[in-house]
Structure formats: C-alpha cells, structure tokens
Structure 1
C-alpha cells in the first residue's frame, strides 16, 4: 500500500505467506479484529524444527490465542532451565521463583503438533488456508509487490482484488527480502547448529531445558514426551574433523566430545539430523509499500535462550495492532521495536558466549554471605532470571542492570574461563 501523504490507510484484506507460529498468531488476531485473512501454508517437509522449548513469556500469548489447553495435552511441562558450564559450575533457574513475571512455567513442545494446533486455531478463527504455492511479482520502479494473477485466481474469489497487505512469515526462506534485495545485518558468530532427537540423556531436573558448555561450542537438551531433543552449536571451523556428512558429524560429536560422552553416553539417535547455518540475521528493512515482515524473516538471533519463537510471536501480536492501525507511523514503530528487541537479545547472547553472564552469577553466589550482597542478590537474581523467562528484552531496567553487572560485577574473575570455545 502506498502511504503517500495519508497518515492512515484502512487495511481490510491480508495475505500471509507462511503458516508457522508467528503467521498463525497474526492470522488469529486479525480475524478476530474483523479483517479478511488468507494464509499460504506449505506443509512441513523437515522432520524437525528448531524452537521446541518455550519460555514463560509465551504462555499468556497461548492463552489469548485459546490454544494452551491443546498444547498442554501433548507437551512436556517445563518448570525451569539448567546451565551446565563445567564439572563444578552449574546454575538452575526455577520459573516459580521469578516473581513479577506473567507466567511461572512453560512447555517443551513437539513442534509438528504445536504448529498444527496453531494452524487449526487460525482456521477456526476464520483464516482461509491455501496449500498451493504463493507467487509474487514486483511492480517495476516501485517498492510494491503483488500476488501474481494465477495466485490471486487460485483464491477462487476469496480475494476479489489484490489484498491490502502482504505479510512475509516464510521464516528462513525470506521470500520478500530476497525478491526486493533487502539486506540484513549478520551477527559476529559463524556457528553451525546440528540437532536430532535421541531416546535418552541425563537430566539434572525433569522438564528443564539444559544448556551445556562443550569442548567446542555448546549443546541443548530439551526433554520431550518419550525422547530428548539434543542439539549442538559449534563454530563451523571445528566440524570437518568429525566427518563429512551432518549425520557423521553429529554421531561422532556424541561419542567424542568429553561433555556429551558424560551426559549422553547411552543416547541413541532416533531421527535424521537437521543442520542450520544461516542465523543471527536482522533485516535492514521490515516494511514497505503494502508489505511487512514478521518472525524469523524479520530476524533471528540464536537458539541459546529459546528466544526465537517468543520473539516471532511477540512480533505477531505487535504487528496485528500495527495493521489494525494502518498508519505509516505505526509500521515504523513496529520496525523500530522489532529491531530493538532483536539487538537486545543479540547483546544478551553475546554475554553468554564471552563468559561474562555466568561469571557474574558465579561471583554473586560466592559472595552471598556478604551483607550487601545478601540485600541485593534477591533483587539481582529476579531481574537476571527474567532472561530465562523471555521477558528481559521488554524491561529496560532489567537490561540496564544486566549491562551494569556484566561491566562491574565480575570482581577480577576472568570470564574466559566460562566462555564458549
């Protein structure tokens, strides 16, 4: 849509490309607001999808969307998160202790069932879903894209004319950014994520997502019903010595990494191995003439704190308000807030990789007998714990406290001892 000199432009019809959690959340909210919404759904071909561990900040969204009961039925209850940094240094966070958060629990979800539950909810709320491909074309010398005539015709009259807004929720496919040559800012890390499901691993606490420092890189263990999702995030330069294929590399890492040999000594892989390399991207532009990006298409940071799905769904809720407003100012605010939240998470993730985050926790624990620390520790613990609930990026105070502590709270400790190698 050409905003031109108009401060508001009424949006009545919306085409959403994609059908992941952000797309479905957006569709549900827009349908409830009375808009006419169609989604283009490409059935999943990948056996596994990153984003199986939810954070508590997602729970109120699931409740608003009316899907929590369905998701609870097939998921693993998640009461907290555990970080294994060395043989001696481990931290566990229990969401029930994180006062001031909107939820004190979360779920670990089989993503195939999770995505289906959201898609069914979108249909139930009135979204039209097409499984045929959605093709787009650019209008020369403009910033506008439209559905091709054959794609529009395939709606069989649901859209009598071109929809007012096209939303790209295609995830890492990044359909519109590629079509419009929209650049992206990459993070500094060049990691590869390999993950699969295994039959069993050691878990310190039932239901906790476990984040574990490896000889090189780090690993996640997400307990799911009847299995465990086990992923490894390794600097790409270390991978060739473990084999030529992703399966060889995964299986050999399980056998050869000194930490994985301990926590997953008897694990048997029961799924194919998935590999991701193109993350830590933030799109330079997120909206234009009649189009907007949401979810991983707009940006994705890192799997370390399970923030990806939260950020995508949070963006969908904000975008629903933006589309209902319809003004250019609202779209600009949406882009600004998305970039801000992504950059905050990029900063938080960097404190994990360079060792500063947990060095501060280590110092805090070692000084709990200090009178001043006794007074301050519960307050600091609460706000630092917000990182693991997903709420950190929406609290300027929590972020400011995190910056202060990572700069001044290490008391001469060397953070490189806990950095990700």
Structure 2
C-alpha cells in the first residue's frame, strides 16, 4: 500500500491536477466553500508560462478569490484596451474596454508572478498543495475515477490519494482527457507561435501606452505586450504550413517577419533581446468529452483557442469558478452528478465555441474595422440590441454577464427536502 506524504491526508473531497490559474481557482473556491481539496502540480512555483495579457472577464473570478487588491499591489500594469494593425488597409485602430463589459481594465502580467499569486491564495483558502508532483494515472473503481497515483521529484515512491471528484486542470498535458477523450483540432487555427522578450522598447504613444499591440502581416501576426517599464513580450503566430516551409527555422523566420511590420518595428528600433526563443504548435483544440464518472476537465485540459484575443487565463479562471459551483453541489447531492457535469460541459464549450468562431472569422484580414465590429455583433448580439462597436469590445472583454455559461446554476437539480418543500408552499400561499 503506498504511503502518504508527511502532513498530507490520503482522502479528499476533490483532487485537482494542476496548480495553474484554472486549477488554483477551482481548488481555491472549493476550499473557500469548506471542502477538503488537494492540488498536485508537476512544477515548483514560480514557474514560467506564456500568456501575459489578460482581459477584463478575469476580474470576476479574481474578485471571488479575494485577489483584486493584491493584483493591484503587485504592480501589474493595467490594460485598458488594444491597438490593431489589421484589415485590408493595414491601418492602426484602437479599442477601449471602457466601451463594453463590466470592468474597464485588466492587466498585463508576468505569468510566473500571477500564477504564484493565485496558487498561494488557494493555499490561504485551505487547499493542500503539493508541488513537484507528477500524476501518473487515475485510480479507477468500477469505471469511476476515485483518485490518483503520483510521484514527487527526487523520490521513487508512488503515492495514492482518493477523492469524491478529480479535476483535470493539467493544461496541455491533459492528464485525464488524454485518457478518456478524443481531441478535435481546429484546422483553421493550426498555427505555430514563436516568441521572446525585449528590453529598452519604445511604447505606444498617448492613450495607447498600455495597449496590447496586435499587428497583422501577410504570413501571420505579431503580439506586443508591455510587461513593465521598457520590457515587452513579442510573439509571432503563423500557419503551420508557413512555418514548415521555412528553410531557416523559426527564429530566422521571426526576424525576417518583424522587418515587415510597421508599429512593432518602430517600437523595437532601439531594443535589446533579453531572452531566448520559445515556441508552441497546434494551439487550438477541443476535447470531445470534458467530464465523466468522478472527473471533469477545466482550462487548457478541456479546450484551448488561438491567443489572438488573449482569452487563455480568462477562460481558465472563469471556467474554474463555474466548475467550483457545480462540484460544490455535486458533493452535497451526488445523485445530480451526471446532469450537473453535463450542464457545465455544455455551457462551457458553448462559450468557448463562440469565442473560437469569432477568432476564426477574425483571421479574415480583407475586412474593414467596421466589418469586424459587425462580425462580433453577429456572434453575440444577433438581435442588435447594442452598437456593433460596443459588441466588439464586449466580446473582447470576455462577455462577462452577456453569456448564460457565465451564470450557470444547478440549484434546480437539487432534490427538495420536506423543509424546502414546505417553505416553497408557504411562499406560494
């Protein structure tokens, strides 16, 4: 029988595989509701991760976690909007979060710092956290996931922990979804990204100072994300076919393509590269199944969309908030598990697919700015209750309060008790 780690129980209400934003948010909010939760992450935080630019919908789960003041105190730079060099005229145009959504800003962050803040908060809320822990396999009983087996770095022993529910928040490692689900790759978004960092960069002028820059060129697009002072993250996203045809490799392709930009090249004219290159391939996918008996997936372990509109952390933490509410009810009323998890999966993937549909269509750079506004309206506001420009910003802000998936409830699935039935009857009378 595997032994336990010092001070760590072997029985939990929920085990969460992965301590990134999705896992830490899910675990933290479940712990906040009084459940015993274990987070297992294969890395030691702070650890590097790309995806530094956030959108305002992230502020809602951060508020639930009690982190909004802490994010401000950490000195993360506020992000009030963005600047596109996009469309058939290749002219620069801006958007501001003030024009749509519930929050007028988000942040640009160093993800190592942000992710540590969220994971530390999950600890404060009562979650057990084991870092340097690699989950080897789920524990199964009669077709149900009932726990996990894991190892810790530097040791040979295999440990086992049991729980009523297991959450796969392992990112693109997809510890459970790789085993229990087929994956659908989105062919229109089969891209390669290569990125690095620069110091001594010039910033965008005036009101654009804190904007993310997204600049399209013939073979793809660049992001420019201001992190602090003169440092920016600069990445190039291009179709896999273009990357595969390059004879000189991704790094030289990156350098060659920067020379074709306008605003970005100007920002980098006196810059110094301050880090090596990193790359990622085939980013956009959806798992066909994101839940099963005793388990559910959240964040990148469930689905991931191209980084064009910076949805990664926002989708992950929003989904973590949703899933925490659902699992809270499932733990109290196990009989609703199948229906409740199905409702979560349907709502979450519906939300994800609307974002993905917009991104796919946004890649058509033959349009004018106003056409992109109308495109957003067709996706989220077909009844045209708001202006196209407002709908565009609302979508880019993350649709907070504008999509049913963000307010999912399973309270109606909870069986009536005699007391609640009596109270309901009295209210009707």
TM-score range, shorter chain: 0.7 to 0.9
| Structure 2 residue 186 is matched with structure 1 residue 187 | yes
Q: Is the contact made by 1:136 and 1:145 (CA closer than 8 Å) also made in structure 2?
A: no
Distance 1:236 1:164, change over 3 A: same
Quick one: distance in 2 between partners of 1:239 and 1:300?
20
Q: Is the contact made by 2:17 and 2:166 (CA closer than 8 Å) also made in structure 1?
A: yes
Question: Could you tell me the TM-score, scaled by structure 1's length?
Answer: 0.79
CA deviations over 1:109-164 (Å, ceiling 9, x no partner): 1101001111110111111111232222464883536323878xx9x9x98x6211
Counterpart in the other structure of 2:354: 344
* Displacement of 1:381: 1.8
| Structure 2 residue 48 is matched with structure 1 residue 42 | no
Quick one: distance in 1 between partners of 2:184 and 2:40?
27
Quick one: distance in 1 between partners of 2:248 and 2:147?
42
**Helix, strand or coil for the counterpart of 1:74?**
coil
| Structure 2 residue 224 is matched with structure 1 residue 221 | yes
Higher normalized strand content (fraction of residues): 2
Alignment of 1:381-420 (within 5 A): 381-391=389-399, 394-395=402-403
| Structure 2 residue 283 is matched with structure 1 residue 275 | no
| Structure 2 residue 291 is matched with structure 1 residue 287 | yes
Distance 1:149 1:363, change over 3 A: closer
Counterpart in the other structure of 1:83: 84
* Displacement of 1:76: 0.7
- Structure 1 stretches of 5 or more lacking a match? 1-10, 365-375, 397-421
Q: Is the contact made by 2:135 and 2:151 (CA closer than 8 Å) also made in structure 1?
A: no
* Displacement of 1:321: 1.0
Distance 1:149 1:75, change over 3 A: closer
Quick one: distance in 2 between partners of 1:138 and 1:102?
42
Counterpart in the other structure of 1:253: 257
* Displacement of 1:29: 0.6
Quick one: distance in 2 between partners of 1:362 and 1:379?
12
**Helix, strand or coil for the counterpart of 2:254?**
helix
* Displacement of 1:317: 0.7
Question: Could you tell me the TM-score, scaled by structure 2's length?
Answer: 0.77
Q: Is the contact made by 2:135 and 2:150 (CA closer than 8 Å) also made in structure 1?
A: no
The size of the alignment, in residue pairs, is 367
**Helix, strand or coil for the counterpart of 2:362?**
helix
Counterpart in the other structure of 2:340: 330
Counterpart in the other structure of 1:411: none
CA deviations over 1:41-96 (Å, ceiling 9, x no partner): 22269974232111111112212211122222231111111111266622211122
Counterpart in the other structure of 2:270: 266
| Structure 2 residue 94 is matched with structure 1 residue 95 | no
Distance 1:377 1:229, change over 3 A: farther
Distance 1:306 1:244, change over 3 A: same
Distance 1:232 1:201, change over 3 A: farther
* Displacement of 1:324: 1.0
Counterpart in the other structure of 1:148: 149
Distance 1:12 1:394, change over 3 A: farther
Q: Is the contact made by 1:242 and 1:252 (CA closer than 8 Å) also made in structure 2?
A: no
Counterpart in the other structure of 2:136: 135
**Helix, strand or coil for the counterpart of 1:163?**
strand
Quick one: distance in 1 between partners of 2:294 and 2:328?
14
Quick one: distance in 2 between partners of 1:196 and 1:144?
40
Quick one: distance in 1 between partners of 2:395 and 2:84?
13
**Helix, strand or coil for the counterpart of 2:307?**
coil
* Displacement of 1:236: 2.1
Q: Is the contact made by 2:108 and 2:225 (CA closer than 8 Å) also made in structure 1?
A: yes
Quick one: distance in 2 between partners of 1:106 and 1:201?
22
Q: Is the contact made by 1:96 and 1:105 (CA closer than 8 Å) also made in structure 2?
A: yes
Counterpart in the other structure of 1:166: 166
Distance 1:89 1:65, change over 3 A: same
CA deviations over 1:305-363 (Å, ceiling 9, x no partner): 11111111111011001101112211000010121111101111022112377453489
* Displacement of 1:240: 5.1
